[in-house]
Copies of this chain bind each other. A is one copy, B any other.
């Protein structure tokens, strides 16, 4: 299976900065969340509908390496792809850029396990898995 790279754009909020004058480090994980939500949406299976169907993608593991700071009002691009897709687990991969300069700000990944509403480990739904890979993807104009 091949997985495309999907870009998500956002503008840095004042709320996301800290007294060092840069974006507080935990907020990059929120941007990861936006990146994987947009990935799923563009591939045709929104994370919201996955939850409606009774599934949860619990985060099991996160890693982030910070290269350069993001600042208030910067336009940010989050490039998201899937690094690994198994029966019950899924790993997203992220590269975060300052969109104006093209500078890489951070790289990271999140590993998820699929559970039902009660938190029991379960298989990712087939329809979701099929949507995640490239053959399905038709780039939007």
Contact = CB atoms under 8 A, between A and B. Distances in A.
Interface of A: 13-15, 17-22, 24-27, 29-30, 33-34, 37, 46-48, 51, 56, 58-66, 69, 72-73, 119
A59 B63 contact: no
A119 B66 CA distance: 13
Contacts of A19: 14, 17-22, 72
B34 A30 contact: no
Given A62-B66, A69-B119, 11 more contacts: A14-B24, A17-B19, A19-B20, A20-B58, A26-B26, A26-B27, A26-B30, A26-B33, A46-B73, A48-B72, A48-B73
Contact of A59 (B13, B25, B56, B59): B25
Nearest to A27: B26
Contacts of A14: 18-19, 24, 33, 37, 47
Given A19-B18, A19-B19, A48-B73, A33 B13 contact: yes
Contacts of A69: 58, 119
B72 A61 contact: no
